[in-house]
Structure 1
Amino acid sequence: MDSHAGRCGLRTPMPPATTKMAMQRAAALVPLAGVLEDHGVSLASVLEGTGISAAEVRPDAFVAYADFLSVLDNACRLTGRDDIGILLGKRQTLTALGPLGRVLRHAATLGEAIGDFAAFQSHNSTGGSVYIMQADRDVILGYGVYDTSAPITNQIYDLVLAVGCNLIAELTGGQVAPEEIVMSRAAPRDPTRYTRLARCPIRFGQHQTGVILRASVLDFPLPAADRAQHDLALAQLLSVRHGTPLPLSAHVRHLLRPFLLRGHARMAEMAERLGLHPRAMRRRLRAEGTTFDAIRDEVRQVAARELLRLGDLSIADIAATLDYSTPSSFVHAFRRWSGTSPGLWRKAA
């Protein structure tokens, strides 16, 4: 593998998804042509071989999540810019979120807005999840990929972080800024592009990727707050979910990445979160041809390979991050998935 391809992403074979293809709203790709033009690259060349056509690069379209990530990787490779995710993310506004953006804009407070973002983000993506975690006096607005068919890439995390910083600034009229940024990727050669992104400290090589806010700023009143408009936008969002309703397995998959980080990746806890009795949840998942343990295995595989490939956490730290009781239990599971140890897989990657 050439060194630049390694920085952009790694197409590691992944097990097939057990449900329908993960999808992503294509609105985030709309500004890409302008970013590429600045670097003398055509949109057509970046889309080639990805499965996404130029006609699909529009705000109301949905594309395969894995193809969306492939576009980011191609853009990185062809422009020679391994910060292409940041460059694209800096051009995003609330309108890129579609109907969800209107819900956020008219929320009463920043806390309500990011709560809505996490709660309803599955209307825009079923390949990665936005989540909120409380940490001491801070709140983390994080993101994690869980689509088993997606290529492993830094670019999606760079894009999401830039989008997160932009949204916070847009929602608050620039009055609130992140306290800190954490990223699971290893430190890049030039970290200043990240510190310039939000003008705050950044820590690389962490167990998750997200924007950290002081809990006190969640009460910040939004200038466009309007309860009637918020509730109307939310009703419209709930009435126009793309395609058919998500199966239960998709909801479980969407919630599991943050549940792993919290150490709550148990069926009883997931069932409670979804308002189901564990037996009912087990029965419905079986009817969809899967089990809670199988879905948890899938999400753990995606997260493990990302942490091994993109970051430099120890095997023990990764095991703890993925809610394994011991490092040896993680190593055993990884061998079962991949036929090799996490350490050897990391070296080969």
Structure 2
Amino acid sequence: MEASPLHSVIGLNSLAAHLRKKGVNVGKLLARASVDPKDIQEETARLPIDRTAAFFREAAAETGDDLLGFHFGQSREAGEAGKLGYVGLASATVHEALKNVQKYSVLYTESAAMRTDRLRQDGLLFWRLNAPASVDMRQFQEFIGTNFIATLRQITGMNIRPAHVAFSHPRSAKLGEFERFFGGPVSFGEAESFIRFNPGQINLPIRTSDERLLAILQDQADRDLESLQTVPKQKSLVLEVERLAAVRLRSDQAKLDIIAAELGMSGRTLSRRLGEDGTTFNEIVDNLRLTLALSLLRDSGLSLPEIAYRLGYSEVSGFNHAFKRWTGKTPKHFRNHGA
């Protein structure tokens, strides 16, 4: 099984504290998520992202709240995000805060990645959580996206209502709650998660900005970045292939040679390196399609032709044949009767 990237325990600990106040047996949830309490005692600790996602998922199941990540994202205070949160709080504007969080997030996570290259021009903030395709990230994804906006509202004192919010995972239920909170269109099952801000919103001033404090925090963070960059990092090739294939499925561009070119190598070299990791390109794409198919059949109201299209099949018959090969059931039977 592909190892999960590491992620800061700050979000997990914040949720644990929130649940304890509600009388929830947090120890039981940690055990279900395979989290040792000793591993999350330090603020600087990091865990495989699949365990954080599992804790959010178990918390949702225990409380019966299918929107737990969404609800918790609204309530977490900006100051609970650790040093990275304080960098945002001390920044001058929304734009500066988001750029700073992007720059220093690598100190806290190998999993989460932000893109701000279109923030100034188009008001677009992209983010993704890199994890094996088999990991259900829905609750944690909804927490991240919701907490972005809740935090910006707190630190600006303005009711920021984005032009559009998109999540990469599917959801078909309770969409109205998302639109009421965000104040605009919200879509699911997109190729990439993003927030599109309305004109002027990224230039809003932050009430807690502090130029001197920001300089101190950035100086320390820059030194930490320099130290981090002296340690060789091995990026997971399998996760990179999964990520690149996922955004190309529906355009039928999840091909060996195309992905290999994106990674700066030949198809033969990519096949050899994947073989060294004990897998093949076709296995990765098949596992990705299966995971997405199960999620879309369970959690979206999309028709079978639409699901087939999103997975890169030109005909429903091709999707039916593949799904039956994977599971022994047809997609229709799985949707109607479950696993």
For 2:165, which of 172, 181, 198 is the aligned residue?
181
CA contact (8 A) 2:88 2:97 kept: no
Hey, what does 1:323 align to over in structure 2? 312
CA contact (8 A) 1:100 1:120 kept: no
Deviation at 1:179, TM superposition (A): 1.2
What secondary structure is seen at the aligned counterpart in 2 of 1:312?
A: coil
Q: 1:246 to 1:306 in 2, by over 3 A?
A: same
Q: 1:61 to 1:216 in 2, by over 3 A?
A: same
Higher relative contact order structure (alpha carbons within 8 Å, sequence separation ≥ 6):
1
CA contact (8 A) 1:103 1:233 kept: no
Alpha-carbon displacement from aligned partner over 1:181-232 (angstroms, at most 9, x marks no partner): 34520122x833x23432323346x556734405967985997899986866
For 1:213, which of 180, 189, 196 is the aligned residue?
196
Q: 1:45 to 1:170 in 2, by over 3 A?
A: same
Hey, what does 2:289 align to over in structure 1? 300
TM-score, structure 2 as length reference: 0.73
Asked if residue 271 in structure 1 is aligned to residue 257 in structure 2, the reply is no
CA contact (8 A) 1:148 1:298 kept: yes
* Distance in 2, Cα, partners of 1:62 & 1:139: 28
Deviation at 1:35, TM superposition (A): 1.8
TM-score, structure 1 as length reference: 0.71
What secondary structure is seen at the aligned counterpart in 2 of 1:20?
A: coil
Summarize the alignment of residues 98-117 of structure 1 with structure 2, pairs less than 5 Å apart.
Answer: 110=95, 113=98, 117=102
* Distance in 2, Cα, partners of 1:308 & 1:262: 20
Deviation at 1:86, TM superposition (A): 1.8
Asked if residue 314 in structure 1 is aligned to residue 297 in structure 2, the reply is no
* Distance in 2, Cα, partners of 1:123 & 1:279: 35
Hey, what does 1:11 align to over in structure 2? none
Deviation at 1:308, TM superposition (A): 1.1
Asked if residue 48 in structure 1 is aligned to residue 31 in structure 2, the reply is yes
* Distance in 1, Cα, partners of 2:84 & 2:68: 26
Hey, what does 2:126 align to over in structure 1? 141
Aligned residue pairs, count: 323
Hey, what does 2:60 align to over in structure 1? 76
* Distance in 1, Cα, partners of 2:325 & 2:104: 33
What secondary structure is seen at the aligned counterpart in 2 of 1:141?
A: strand
Q: 1:249 to 1:77 in 2, by over 3 A?
A: closer
What secondary structure is seen at the aligned counterpart in 1 of 2:162?
A: coil
* Distance in 2, Cα, partners of 1:346 & 1:48: 30
Hey, what does 1:252 align to over in structure 2? 241
| One-letter amino acid of the structure 1 residue matched with residue 332 of structure 2 | G
Structure 2 unpaired stretches of 5+: none
Structure 1 unpaired stretches of 5+: 1-16
What secondary structure is seen at the aligned counterpart in 1 of 2:72?
A: helix
* Distance in 1, Cα, partners of 2:117 & 2:260: 19
Asked if residue 160 in structure 1 is aligned to residue 144 in structure 2, the reply is yes
- Root-mean-square deviation over aligned CA pairs: 4.4
The percent identity for this pair of structures is 23
Deviation at 1:320, TM superposition (A): 1.6
| Of 154-163 and 137-146, the range deviating more from structure 2 | 137-146
| One-letter amino acid of the structure 2 residue matched with residue 187 of structure 1 | A
What secondary structure is seen at the aligned counterpart in 1 of 2:47?
A: strand
Which of the pair has more CA radius of gyration? Answer: 2
* Distance in 2, Cα, partners of 1:221 & 1:210: 23
Alpha-carbon displacement from aligned partner over 1:150-207 (angstroms, at most 9, x marks no partner): 3x4742332232234346658988696421234520122x833x23432323346x55
| One-letter amino acid of the structure 2 residue matched with residue 278 of structure 1 | G
For 2:325, which of 336, 342, 348 is the aligned residue?
336
